Structure 1
């Protein structure tokens, strides 16, 4: 059950390869008494293999009952019916496995009470382990640490003489490798509540909300239920759903699968009938974006309620109803050349000869240290080479530079302005690392009086800033003491209550996306809910890896190794190659290839 489970007895399995079934014989080859020194890990199976547990055998010992129950938690039994057979009738009624999943570094150990505390009809076992993560009732993942200690109590039935568990912790527990086999991360999609990046009448911007579902237990239906139930608590304050309150799948809705034409019919209860045509199409778009990775053959969604069709939407139509950051293909890759000018190369091309970007920043009026380009690629921002001044200029030939829009007063160059970042509303974000007065700023529309962004609960100085394409999530590299961590927060906007009704902007819910890394040196958004990060663990070597915003590790290969990385950039459009600034200059990583030298330069960025 997760990782290497210690020295417990091996679990016998009977595999039916043709049917893709593995039976967990949870009560085979186990000691009759004593402690469980660890529940043996189920070997990592092919993703198509389904695993089912065996029910308790006649006259099973307490040790076998506990072992069998823990094994049953890792099976693909949809309603944990087999696991409930290890419980008393009352315990089976009150146990709620869906409340949480606790992930341990290894499978849970189980230690029986000492003989002095035993009697003929009752016995307790302490489940132990080291926590690495939890998944809550909303299926939201969060890294965890510390020890796990939960009590399991067994009784012997007076009539049948069979041992059963009568007190069990709520939720389920398993080791890391079993979690990886049993669960998969899937993005569900909502809309930015402030319609980030949209003008009047523009389609709403979608926001990815990753959750973990059981990968072999009808994941499509699980995701539809999760989507309709609403966003996770962390994301909820900054997004909205188009499903009317009270909407649910119809009670008799079976497993949801597309028909042979790729059409998925989703039967909803009568509450859904309250939605008008436009809102219904938004609901269908949420479903299409959410289910596209689970059902690649799905081409259309039809929503039904009250025995009649509400609306239907084809896959291509979803991109006109709503927009996603990953749908935007960048025109150019930008960076600073050896003459300290803003230059660019066509994105995705194999070219190695950059050309100056049009406008003042590309004409060399000011020597640049770092740059950022707005998502519409019409405006750029540049920090002077000494880090003291921030300039904004149009990407139009002949445009003037003007005065700095922000200045830092810090004495040391490394304590001044960070590389800036543009959000989906054409806002420009930058941090001033001045030790005497560290601040995070937002310049709305890239101009005007800089607005100080509130960061309650932030302990440390911001060293790097990247805003997601959806405009409601922000990634920050924060330095505290000798540690640099990657934190992800949500952006909440409102009125500050002062004269003139100026907007207030606050970053809340900051959480670590890389708890295992001690030093994060570079990062960039690399998808709807994914970042690419450069850093190292304590006592380790530098590595480049992908991480999810919830702190989980995606089931994708990491980028090819690259030494001496000083900066990295990626596009939310995953077709664009990863680009880095290393000891070799500007390098890129085409799909399926190794790192390739592009040219000399620094500070590579895609728009954003």
Structure 2
């Protein structure tokens, strides 16, 4: 983070004083600013361990304008809950009007600071301006939703000298908060909030389907309470059209609730305002399920939640075991098998997570008949499979039961070559089957409800190119598409909206956004969690690489998968205890947790977990 800025000045490291006993770091702020010399950019604070809290120092008496600017920017990277120290660098009016929670702008490096030239060389003035500049990486909006960004950042910041105190203060601060990427990584963590897919249920008992809604919260500022407040505030704008919350509108933490902490039995008690006081048992169980799934994503130490209404009336409580029965949650549904095509291009399977290497043909036509396949997908309940023939022309759907016939294809492509025909199919938890026809003369994204019936052409008004690959999320409300245009491939994630069939266009994919803006080629991808994908691709001029990405385009914490050359296909389960499985130049290989890639079989292709 110590790179020089063009047209600016060389950056200096921020001096800090650490108090190990209480886990606090004080940013030196303006106290570390020189009284003379060149104005310097704000060096991003070195990353700290999560248990270390960082606080900024207030402006010193008679601080020079440059010191005020740099001290303010350093205060933005601290763990001050309400940015009270940062406000001390502002005028009284500016401090009242400034809303840091509305926007966080992330730059590749900390912002450079350039003083604006004074008219006519005037130096004795009571008003000054500085320009903050940098290269944008991302933004986090008022709903805490992350979005990749690019292009230059340039904002003007104004200072005035108080006539009474003779102290310099910022009268026009930048909108929201601005910081470098390393400071963002130290200050923020991603957490999945959970809601339920609208008008969707699965299974004989009609379980609601849990949907992950990733947001960023500040690590050092009571992240548990932040996360609960964010959950109660509702889903992000991107998911709000397709998910619902079981919390009644207006539900919030009871007034006066400062912080939430689990007890010594790992149970978190959450006091709610009176908006939640009249909910029934079933609705309260759904509310508690949302809370528990969300909190366990943040910290696995929370095993149970209890909801309290007005007057500390107990509304309901829920344990982890009961939450699994209350909602369908992909990460909690460990598949029984992993599937692939053997040397005869028939569908075989082996126990998921098994250390063995023996695979057997699946029961039914895709394993027992002589039909050769190019790609396959197995339904989430592992009762049905879909396969595309080796020509890529025909899609078949059949039950995984002995003696079943293959039947007629449910979709046929008229493309002239294999690469202009059908993609690998994909199933969601509803039992709906998705596939794309790459025929350049009639490209379309297709949905087969319950894997049968008349194919529905999905509307994709924002699609910037031709679909190369399709993977629908288990929840059925998000879909990942590899889209090709001008020889480059992008991984886009969109929202699936389902309308009344009488409207004429019952299904649409909207708000397609890039999850890998830095890649110019995407070879293969798979869902690898509730809001995470594993992707194989290349940056411009680079070598093939494998990485995890979040659906919002951010990079998740944790290690990347071990390198593997010549990857042609990859599959992962939402249950992260199961290994990645890939088709590479070495055949079918797998990557158990904490190990290296292991060969399964030399002759095989198209590996898939259910989905």
Aligned length: 603
**Aligned equivalent of 1:88, options 91, 112, 121:** 91
Distance apart, 1:428 and its partner CA: 1.0
The Cα shift of 1:259 comes to 1.0
Instruction: Report the equivalent of 1:408.
Output: 413
- 1:237 aligned to which of 233, 241, 249: 241
Give the whole-Å Cα distance in 2 for the aligned partners of 1:402 and 1:396. 14
Determine if the alignment matches structure 1 residue 473 to structure 2 residue 478.
yes
Q: Show the counterpart of 2:280.
A: 276
Name the SS of the counterpart of 2:51 in structure 1: coil
Aligned residue for 2:291? 287
The answer to whether the 8 A contact 1:35-1:63 is kept is no
Separation in 2, partners of 1:150, 1:32: 25
Distance in 2 (CA, whole Å) between partners of 1:287 and 1:478 is: 35
Question: Within 5 A, what are the aligned runs for 1:33-112?
Answer: 36-112=39-115
Query: Per the alignment, do residues 464 and 97 of structure 1 end up closer, same or farther by CA in structure 2, a change over 3 Å counting?
Result: same
TM-score, normalised by the number of residues in structure 1: 0.97
> 5 Å matches for 1:375-524?
375-497=380-502, 504-524=506-526
CA distance in 2, matches of 1:35, 1:547: 40
SS of the residue 1:66 aligns to: helix
* Cα drift, residue 332 of structure 1: 0.6
Q: Distance in 2 between matches of 1:360 and 1:200?
A: 27
1:4/1:40 contact within 8 Å kept: no
Computed over aligned residues only, the root mean square deviation of the Cα atoms, in angstroms, reads 1.4
Shift of 1:462: 0.6
In structure 1, the gaps of 5 or more residues are none
1:184 corresponds to 2:151:
no
Q: What is the correspondence of 1:551-562 to structure 2 with a 5 Å cutoff?
A: 551-562=553-564
- In the TM superposition, 1:293-372 aligns within 5 A as 293-307=297-311, 308-372=313-377
Q: Secondary structure at the match of 1:90?
A: helix
Q: 2:230 aligns with which of 218, 221, 226?
A: 226
Within 2, Cα distance between the matches of 1:266 and 1:35?
Answer: 52
Contact 1:372 1:607 in 2 (8 A): yes
The Cα of 1:200 is off from its aligned counterpart by: 6.2
Counterpart position of 1:254: 258
**Do 1:35 and 1:110's aligned partners in 2 also have CA atoms closer than 8 Å?**
no
Answer yes or no: is the 8 Å Cα contact 1:3–1:105 preserved in 2.
no
1:12/1:28 contact within 8 Å kept: no
Q: Is it true that 1:605 corresponds to 2:602 in the alignment?
A: no
CA distance in 1, matches of 2:88, 2:148: 31
Deviations 1:53-74 (A, max 9, x none): 0000111000000000000000
Offset of 1:110 from its aligned partner?
Answer: 1.0
SS of equivalent to 2:475: coil
What is the distance in 2 between the residues matched to 1:160 and 1:372? 72
Distance 2:298 2:549 in 1: 20
Query: Which range moves more in the overlay, 444-453 or 61-70?
Result: 444-453
Which residue pairs with 1:534 in the alignment?
A: 536
Q: CA deviation at 1:203?
A: 1.6
Q: What's the CA shift string for 1:261-311, capped at 9, x where partnerless?
A: 222111111111131111111111111000113343222211111111111
Q: Which residue of 1 aligns with 2:206?
A: 202
Instruction: Give the distance between the partners of 2:34 and 2:421, measured in 1 at CA.
Output: 65
Q: Deviations over 1:475-507 (max 9, x none)?
A: 110001111000001111112426xxx771111
Q: Which residue number in structure 1 is paired with residue 180 of structure 2?
A: 175
Do the aligned residues in 2 keep the contact of 1:11 with 1:28 (CA within 8 Å)? no
Equivalent residue for 1:143? 148
Deviation at 1:234, TM superposition (A): 0.2
* 1:548 paired to 2:553: no
Q: Tell me if the contact between 1:3 and 1:176 (Cα under 8 Å) persists in the aligned partners.
A: no
What do the CA deviations read for 1:200-243 (whole angstroms, capped 9, x no partner)?
64221100000000001000000000000000000111100000
1:17 CA displacement: 1.9
* Range that drifts further, 520-529 or 107-116: 107-116
Match of 2:21 among 18, 30, 33: 18
Matched, 1:590 2:595: no
Q: CA deviation at 1:27?
A: 1.4
CA-CA distance at 1:443 after TM superposition = 1.0
Check whether the contact 2:192–2:298 (CA below 8 A) recurs between aligned residues.
no
Deviations 1:325-381 (Å, cap 9, x if unpaired)? 011111111011110110111110011111111111001331111111111111111
Distance in 2 of aligned mates of 1:59 and 1:514: 47
> Does the CA-based 8 Å contact 1:5-1:106 persist in structure 2?
no
* Corresponding residue SS for 1:550: coil
| Structure 1 residues 4 and 184: CA distance shift in structure 2, 3 A | farther
Which aligned segments of 4 or more residues in structure 1 are displaced greater than 3 angstroms?
Answer: 2-6, 31-37
- Separation (CA, whole Å) in 2 of partners of 1:427 and 1:317: 27
SS class of match (2:424): coil
Give the drift of 1:33: 5.8
Matched position secondary structure for 2:231: helix
What is the rounded CA distance, in whole Å, between the counterparts of 1:424 and 1:323 in structure 2? 9
Distance 2:599 2:592 in 1: 11
Take 1:34 and 1:112, find their aligned partners in 2: how far apart are those partners?
13
Shift of 1:520: 0.5
Give the Å deviation of 1:3.
6.7
Q: What's the CA shift string for 1:544-568, capped at 9, x where partnerless?
A: 0000000000011000000000000
CA distance in 2, matches of 1:127, 1:33: 20
State the secondary structure of the residue aligned to 1:361.
Answer: helix
